[in-house]
Amino acid sequence: MPMDTRTGLPVVGMIGGGQLARMTHQAAIALGQSLRVLANDVDESAALVAADVQLGSHTDLDALRTFAKSCDVVTFDHEHVPGEHIRALVAAGHKVFPGADALQYAQDKHLMRRRLSELGAPVPRWAPIATAEELVAFGLPAVVKTARGGYDGRGVFVVNDVEEIIDLLASGAELIVEEKVALRRELAVQVARSPYGQVAVYPVVETVQQDGICVEVLAPAPGLPEDVAVGAQELAIRIANELGVVGLLAVELFEVAPDTPGEAPRLVINELAMRPHNSGHWTIEGARTSQFEQHLRAVLDYPMGDTSLAAPAVVMANVLGGPDGGMSIDERLHHLMAAEPGVKVHLYGKQTRPGRKIGHVTALGDDLADCRARAARAGHWLTYGKALES
Amino acid sequence: MPMDTRTGLPVVGMIGGGQLARMTHQAAIALGQSLRVLANDVDESAALVAADVQLGSHTDLDALRTFAKSCDVVTFDHEHVPGEHIRALVAAGHKVFPGADALQYAQDKHLMRRRLSELGAPVPRWAPIATAEELVAFGLPAVVKTARGGYDGRGVFVVNDVEEIIDLLASGAELIVEEKVALRRELAVQVARSPYGQVAVYPVVETVQQDGICVEVLAPAPGLPEDVAVGAQELAIRIANELGVVGLLAVELFEVAPDTPGEAPRLVINELAMRPHNSGHWTIEGARTSQFEQHLRAVLDYPMGDTSLAAPAVVMANVLGGPDGGMSIDERLHHLMAAEPGVKVHLYGKQTRPGRKIGHVTALGDDLADCRARAARAGHWLTYGKALES
């Protein structure tokens, strides 16, 4: 055990140096620790702020082995580490959470759909496809997804005519097709699970998407009937248990209009993520235990923290890189702070690039509409360098 | 300007690598920054977690000059940097907050008492003393303090008989004497002030001391009449303005029984601190803007953040190093988390030594008594490695 002899506490290593590792390091500091980070580059979000950084690629098994030797437990900022590398680390005696058997369901949408179907979990009607004929037989319009490699809307195609994806079909990429559900809105629920088997589930949230990217999260999801919310939490717990997830699991859900008007809405599972997740950034100030601290507790097999809300309404808005507009990020921050002294800012230390997630803002209060307005104004200042016109 | 070209944001340097710098680094991460730290040793609290650490002494002007050159603004984790060094940095064109003219009043109790008396601020009856005769003439019992170098109760002596401090009187140390007030309890109020002159004041808190060390902070101070609380806040703002403080100012107060029973209690000033302060650790979860973020905003001349409470009652308890007791800090943390899933833990990465501040815990809720009980139980677990007997 490379237990940190200076502090008497275990060392958590996170593979990947993005904003999730950056915010996990923040949480680790409170627990008396310092996150060890495997980053590709010194300029990555987490590498800019963490004391203990190893440079190397998440696809380089030698780098992973060296990294794991200096950690008590290894976890992830993303889902791109090959399963065989994770198995090699575990075979060498390292603790890696989540394990490869669980993580495969967040890496491969075909495996995920098949496993969830076996479990009887609610999913859209789906099928694996390899040819245009199979797609036509499934029925159009439909949603075609690559089994591997997609995120933030990449690898997802709404298809009305086979011709639209003829190149993709010819590429040899493994594909699945899903029915285009009568989507009302998107929800998400996060659960943490420890090796001991303790689980802690967060309130269900609404996630607002634009062009396949999450732009806003409302906690708790407004207007969701209590029994539907509890059902979603129970579903997330069941999936975490059945798949053997250790750490955080985010279950992204579609809320579909009920077949019979007046009945409760129906939820179907869209995606799974096994790490801290954009749908949980609101928890930093909005829940008693942030998702980042909870992920650390889970992979360390510590008891889970209280997941209850810290305010009646919490709204998180992502800050995307915007046009240059002649105003520096530092000036934008000044304006935001002057206009919204109660909004919490999180910047990731990233170079601005249009559409790139460079930070997020969180507004808390008693009134959801007020929180949404404040978060939107704050996010707009950081993205565009000017006030949102009302 | 050494503005960080990777992030487009200014670099704040903090002199001193203790827990205040550690928690300031945590706050800096959210603002898109990485605190630059001047630490004596790689094992200091902040050096364990910050990416950007220079080793060197706060009394070495060359080290300070090198440090300041790589920062946009320099501030402090403690009050021990000599005033002439600060003046030398400012003369070389560096921004240093608070400045030497303000900081002297937190470094020298004689200067502080004289200046506060000139301002007409409420202080205990006091006098400078150099001889036993002067002490007797002032009247005993009384409180004798060294003008410089004391903190956490060091350098403070309750004196009933001159013989008790005959060695101190002979030492040549500059001393003051103060009346022993009819102390009911201790309070504190924090205010942040920016170079622009904006101020933001926190709610008045009660600080509970044992052996001269703060062990517990209750926010807001229970049972304090509204007008007395507002008066204390106005006093703190006035002192920050008059002394030209930039950054955080903590005003420690004695609540003294009123001369006439039934009247409002009287407040007199005990000490001043010009940095994030133990009386403000509760703000990390308990206020919308933590004292650490607020200090950064102030020294960066950013607009101040919202200081309002995040819960009706907030209790912070310090965790002091305790007896070994055969249980590691890691095991203690497990027990605490299992027993108190809603209590927030902050460990400073320090080696345990009896009486040393190694961390703190914070409990939030609707009921003060419940928060106190939870914080006490949690603190006891971390200090003693066993449950508090009720």
Are A40 and A103 in contact, with CB atoms under 8 Å apart? no
CA atoms of A117 and A108, how far apart (whole Å): 14
User: In 10 A of CB A223, how many CB atoms?
Assistant: 10
The closest of A253, A227, A241, A213 to A360, measured between CA atoms, is: A213
CA atoms of B306 and B152, how far apart (whole Å): 29
- Put simply, the chain B residues between 148 and 207 with a CB less than 8 A from any chain A CB are 200
B43 touches chain A (CB under 8 A): yes
Give the distance, in angstroms, between the CA of residue A89 and the centroid of all CA atoms in the same chain.
24
Reported as a single tens digit per residue, the pLDDT across A62-102 is: 999 999 999 999 999 999 999 999 999 999 999 999 999 99
- Residue A149: pLDDT band with limits 50, 70, 90: confident
CB contact under 8 A, B29 and A8: no
The closest of A124, A153, A118 to A141, measured between CA atoms, is: A124
CA atoms of B368 and B313, how far apart (whole Å): 5
pLDDT of residue B146: 95
Q: How far is CA B378 from CA A7, A29, A162, B211, in A?
A: 19, 18, 62, 21
Q: Is the pLDDT of residue A2 over 60?
A: no
Distance from CA of A136 to the nearest CA of B (A): 49
Distance from CA of A285 to the nearest CA of B (A): 8
Angle B350-B355-B360 from CA coordinates, rounded to 5°: 55
Q: Is the pLDDT of residue B390 over 70?
A: no
CB pairs under 8 A between A and B: 157
Using DSSP, state whether B95 is helix, strand or coil: coil
The strand pairing partners of A320, in sequence order, are A357
CA atoms of B227 and B268, how far apart (whole Å): 15
Using DSSP, state whether A3 is helix, strand or coil: coil
Q: Is the pLDDT of residue B98 over 90?
A: yes
The strand pairing partners of A333, in sequence order, are none
Q: Does residue A180 have a known ligand-binding role?
A: yes
Angle B206-B210-B212 from CA coordinates, rounded to 5°: 90
CB contact under 8 A, B50 and A48: no
B76 touches chain A (CB under 8 A): no
- Residue B150: pLDDT band with limits 50, 70, 90: low
Using DSSP, state whether B15 is helix, strand or coil: strand
Question: Residue ranges per domain, chain A?
Answer: 12-96, 125-179, 183-384
CA atoms of A305 and B167, how far apart (whole Å): 53
pLDDT of residue A355: 85
Report residue B208 as tokens. Answer: 């509970």
- Residue A152: pLDDT band with limits 50, 70, 90: low
Tokens 């960080």 -> residue: B4
pLDDT of residue B363: 98
DSSP collapsed to 3 states, B309-361:
ECCCEEEEEEEEECCCCCCCHHHHHHHHHHHCCCCEEEECCCCCCECCEEEEE
A379 class by beta-carbon count within 10 Å (0-12 exposed, 13-18 middle, 19+ buried)? buried
Q: What is the DSSP letter of A265?
A: P
Give the distance, in angstroms, between the CA of residue B35 and the centroid of all CA atoms in the same chain.
19
Q: Does residue A179 have a known ligand-binding role?
A: yes
B23 touches chain A (CB under 8 A): yes
Q: Is the pLDDT of residue B151 over 80?
A: no
The strand pairing partners of A205, in sequence order, are A188
In a mutational test of the B interface, the residue from A309, A330, A358 whose CB has the highest number of chain B CBs within 10 Å is A330
CA atoms of A145 and A110, how far apart (whole Å): 9
- Residue A342: pLDDT band with limits 50, 70, 90: very high
A80 class by beta-carbon count within 10 Å (0-12 exposed, 13-18 middle, 19+ buried)? middle
Q: Is the pLDDT of residue A324 over 80?
A: no
Q: What single-letter amino acid sits at A185?
A: R
Beta-carbon contacts of residue B21 (< 8 Å; ≥ 6 apart): B14, B35, B37, B39, B45, B46, B50, B77
CA atoms of A102 and A97, how far apart (whole Å): 9
B297 touches chain A (CB under 8 A): yes
CB contact under 8 A, A30 and B338: no
In a mutational test of the A interface, the residue from B7, B9, B290 whose CB has the highest number of chain A CBs within 10 Å is B7
Q: Taking all residues of chain B, what is their mean pLDDT, rounded to a whole number? A: 95
Class of domain A125-179: alpha beta
Are B106 and B148 in contact, with CB atoms under 8 Å apart? no
- Residue A382: pLDDT band with limits 50, 70, 90: very high
User: In 10 A of CB B125, how many CB atoms?
Assistant: 14
Tokens 């010819």 -> residue: A170
CATH fold match for the domains B125-179 and B183-383: no
Reported as a single tens digit per residue, the pLDDT across B186-205 is: 999 999 999 999 999 999 99
Out of A146-155, B162-171, B219-228, B242-251, pick the least confident.
Answer: A146-155
Instruction: Tell me what the mean pLDDT of segment A185-209 comes to.
Output: 97
ipTM entry: 0.96
Report residue A239 as tokens. Answer: 């999936």
Q: Is the pLDDT of residue B152 over 70?
A: no
CB contact under 8 A, A10 and B330: yes
In the CATH hierarchy, which fold is given to the domain comprising A183-384?
D-amino Acid Aminotransferase; Chain A, domain 1 (3.30.470)
CA atoms of B353 and B21, how far apart (whole Å): 20
CB contact under 8 A, A334 and B297: no
User: In 10 A of CB B157, how many CB atoms?
Assistant: 17
Reported as a single tens digit per residue, the pLDDT across B2-25 is: 588 889 999 999 999 999 999 999
Instruction: Tell me what the mean pLDDT of segment A98-125 comes to.
Output: 98
Instruction: Tell me what the mean pLDDT of segment B292-311 comes to.
Output: 98
Are B102 and B245 in contact, with CB atoms under 8 Å apart? yes
The closest of B348, B217, B227, B349 to B285, measured between CA atoms, is: B217
Q: Is the pLDDT of residue B327 over 90?
A: no
- Put simply, the chain A residues between 332 and 351 with a CB less than 8 A from any chain B CB are 333-334, 337-338, 341-342, 344-351
Using DSSP, state whether A248 is helix, strand or coil: strand
In the CATH hierarchy, which fold is given to the domain comprising A12-96?
Rossmann fold (3.40.50)
pLDDT of residue B2: 56
Angle A124-A125-A129 from CA coordinates, rounded to 5°: 120
Of B305, B306, B330, the CB nearest to A8: B330
Report residue B1 as tokens. Answer: 């300007």
Q: Does residue A95 have a known ligand-binding role?
A: no
Class of domain B183-383: alpha beta
Share of chain B above pLDDT 90, in %: 87
The strand pairing partners of A273, in sequence order, are A250
pLDDT of residue A87: 98
